Structure 1
Amino acid sequence: MRWHLLFLFLLVVPTGCAHRLRPSDLPPPAASHGHLALAMEAFLRDPASYEQRVARNPVLAGGISSGTSLEAPVLELEAGQAPGVFNEAVQTLAGKPTEAQIVQALGDLHAACDADHEPACQFLKEQNLPPARIQGWVTHPKERSLSFRSEYAVVVLQCRIGLDGRVRDCQVIEDGSGHPSQHLIAQLGESRYRPWTLAGHAATTSYAFTFNLRHGGPADDELSLEQRLGWARLRVAHFPQSGGAWTNLAMQLAVHAPEDPDYPKVLAQAHALAPSFQWTATEMAWHRVQAGQYAAALMALRPVIRRSVMGDSPNPYVLETAAAAHFGLSQCAEALAEQQKAVGLLPAEWPAPERERFQRKLQDYQSACAAPKAVSAATGPR
């Protein structure tokens, strides 16, 4: 069996400055809110990547488990507390902190950022550096295959990267037939990584590796919609503790079957396993807004709302969802600020009905906040 590594970044369609978008590069007019939010993520990475990244992609949540996990204490700060907490964390990092103090400082910085203290967000953006491979390479398992059809698998490994840059203590979260995880673990063990650092201070961290594998079949072979949905359901059945499997199924349903009766339950399970993942948090919050659960919606968004704007291209659907939740709580200033930012961030190429809906919602909020009346925060896509 010969497995090929399929990394999602290889699915990007190369484009030049003069590339003109085709209708297939944008989501359809009747797309659900979750579909639109996912399509926007793809658009912000590459405007011409929607079809391969979203519409035909069998592994939509390929990167859900990839990242750094540190057991930093979760704090909730008022805006007035954030500057002091931020200054104390920076002072700690200016000295010679222990590993425990580094982790504590990370939690404090995140809490200050979540409380809208911009210097904390900027500090994290510049000084919070994830592990990076500096030596070694991971290749596919070299086994002979006579198959004329493509077979797919996702391997998710939860490992630790130490101060020495070695990958160790890997646990298998998802695996494929023939256990390709063992081959991948052996290769990771021979690799070296730059450890996670905060302001130049390294610490041991938990790190998840996700590998998308395929063997057999022609190079241009791809799964049908029925096969993609079937495989997504099979993954959660075989690996019920995999946040990536549940998030992939939720995304597939949001894109292809948003009216599926299983969707709310699948989304809830995906959010429970990956509450800090931007798409699941935003979609969970949007569903709570539709149900009038505005405070609960903001709770779901809290881990991602401030951090979402730390990137170079914030997703307008995150901000739109936050605006709707704030408006439902009669927090006019916050609702107007978030919706105004969302409107301003929408790409000019984005479908006109969506751009008009965002602008119309902003006008609704402005009118209601000037002269309070019954305006629903929940009006929008499914």
Structure 2
Amino acid sequence: MTDPGALVRRLTHTALRAELRRGIAPWTGLAVVLTLLVPLWSKAPQWQGNWGDTQTQLRAATALLGGPLVAAAACWQGGREYRRRTAELLLSVPRGRLAQATTAAAPIALWAAAGYLLALGVVFAATAPYTGAGGPSLSVVVADLGCLLSIAVVGFVVGRLVRWRLIAPVLAAGLYVLLGAPGYMESDVRFLSPAEQYPLDGSVPVWWFAPALLAWTGGIAVTALLAYAARRRGLAVVPLAVAVTAGAVIAHTGTGLFRDDPAVRHRVCSAAAPGTPQLCVRAPDAPLLPRMSEALSGMFSRLEGVPGAPVRYVTPEFGPKNGEASLGHVVRGWGIARNELTDPHGYLANTAMTLVSRDCPEPRAEVVGKEAARVERTDDAVRSWLADEESLWFPDSRYLARLKDLPDAERKAWLGRYLATRKSCTPAEVPAL
């Protein structure tokens, strides 16, 4: 005699295999891949070469673009029987309502997960050759994957409950707003949104990050599924309690969900060489050091032998100390693309500006005198000369000519006196050209 349980399981497996090969489920996987890769590829210079930026961009695309897409596909799948007017036939099959719902929703969720993982592999393969330190966070991958699966389940349940043909696009639009709106909040409640932009550049999640996010999003999905399809709907209280508890922990912790990543936060410096200052950057940007040294070589040659010239240049976040100066500020996508400086001359001019900029309060118009104007023109001339006249300013040609016409030894001595006052806000202390 055939075991009824075995028969039900065999029918379930057969139905699941059929659902995985037909309908909109395979197309959903392809759509997820394209939806993630097309916008990410258009912004490749902004994330390629930095694991934190890569996962930040991928996470945003997954939640804000992939999430509504998967919700709409699952919702359409959920309303299939009503559109075909075969819903009454479901009552005659041997499987229970929960098994039927799970079997029908699983193909969308599985294909969406496959699409995400394929896009993940492509994006990680694209950024890996350009990275200097650190690595991707598995916790973030698990949380994003769990978010897509949960959205698929909730979308399916909505499709089963709401018999309106336009519910799928309406659900997608509503979910987009629901996921994106918390990003404009200052409260830590915003961390409940799967689309929240986490500080992944230089930070890593705490060890319980993924379990908490899975309990939050997964708990909501399981609650919806059990409330709709379980024989004992009161069981939905259990996953609901888990979701509420996890959500409370996430909202209470806020930015504490992340800690500094020592592998990324420490600085890496170029090799010391006589007459050449060291350059120090964050570990992920270490591959940029040769390009930076090449771009700044002209300025370094002009400062060689100048008393008091910086012996080390560091990125602004490290806060230069005595004998150090700040490098020009550039970020990936704006000045850096695939470990190349997109505008070396602009980077040189930016670093020259940083070297001689004075952090002084803006004087009132009525107290600006000849001495203050002289210092301003002197600063502009030094910037332009250091940048080999690849400057963003229009210095007074007379001041620049005086600096260029000085004998080499006299110019070095004057620059030494000038650099000693580069942080001074007293015009009388700045040597005249």
Superposition TM-score tier, normalisation by shorter sequence: under 0.3
Q: Which has the larger radius of gyration?
A: 2
Q: Larger % of helix: which?
A: 2
Q: Larger % of strand: which?
A: 1
